[in-house]
Structure 1
Amino acid sequence: MSFTESRRDFVLSGARAGAAAAVVGAMPTAFAASSGASAAGAAANADLLQALGSRIGLEVASHIGAEGDALTLAYLDAAGDSVDALRAGIEQGMSWQMGRAPVTVESPSASSSLLGVALVTNTASGRTARVEINATTLSMLAMIEGDRTPASSKKLSVLTANSDNFYRVQYLA
């Protein structure tokens, strides 16, 4: 800090430098994660994928059903086995909300701009929700994973972040 630089300017420039260093430090992980769904899935933490899936399952099940209703999950997987924890998390979240496991049908899908698509149906009421999981989800999770915070803080980040960063839900009926 020079004599002409105010304390406020010094703190702001230090904060900018710290933020820039964090972004530059996370860039290799983000680029690796965005290079392809399969490659990125290997970099994504299974616990974070499971937490995100649970968040999706809880949200969708709470909107289309009541406790005890039977739900079905049709899941199109465009990323392969590397992100199975995401589907498992969706099933787990639905189970927590409904009190019973959903009937799940998983199908592989050709590479697409989406990581996966889930169609959740309440068999009793006919209400349906379509969930599109963004391909950028893995990049976001890789950045969160690269953060030097405890695992519980990383999961909290996934559970409380804006859902637009990860997925979109459309309630059809």
Structure 2
Amino acid sequence: MDLREHRAFAAGHVAGSANVELNERLATYLGWLVPWNASVTLLGVTEGEVDQAQRELVRIGIERPVAVATGGPHDWAGLEPLVRYPRATFHDLADALAGPDPPTVLDVRLPSERIGWHIRGSLRVPIPEVLGRIDQIPERPLWILGRGRQVGVAAALLHAHGRDVTAVDDDFANAADAGLPLTNSARR
């Protein structure tokens, strides 16, 4: 588990690693996404970050990671090349959807966050369900959208599972300006 900011993670990380930024929501995301009794290795820039993450892990019943490392992705990868995935805007997504082989749009927002506008035809898999429903997510290029860190967490998880991902790292308010087909799903 790489604890760096999601944009830095997207730019270069150890193959097979996942990413949850070290912040006040770390325990929540890890509780949603790390299977019970999973072995967790923490990758942090400093010892302080790793210590803080360990305290958060205890809150969800993970007493001790199997390993920790500090430094940066080049330190952790050794001789292996770093991997990355692209980040994009809603304008980039509109261009991709207009192309000859449009990607699948995966919306990972929570149900309460999706109330209102969403992109017509997008596949909805809330962030806590991504790993449990991975077999329902098409094995084709995925453009992932959500709120803030959700995009980075979902993109990292799916990328670690060998999926071709692009993180739409943009404010949803920009989707309409990009000309994307929006649908209103008002609460009933």
Q: Could you state the TM-score of these two structures normalised by the residue count of structure 2? A: 0.27
| Larger Rg, first or second structure (1 or 2) | 1
Q: Could you state the TM-score of these two structures normalised by the residue count of structure 1? A: 0.28
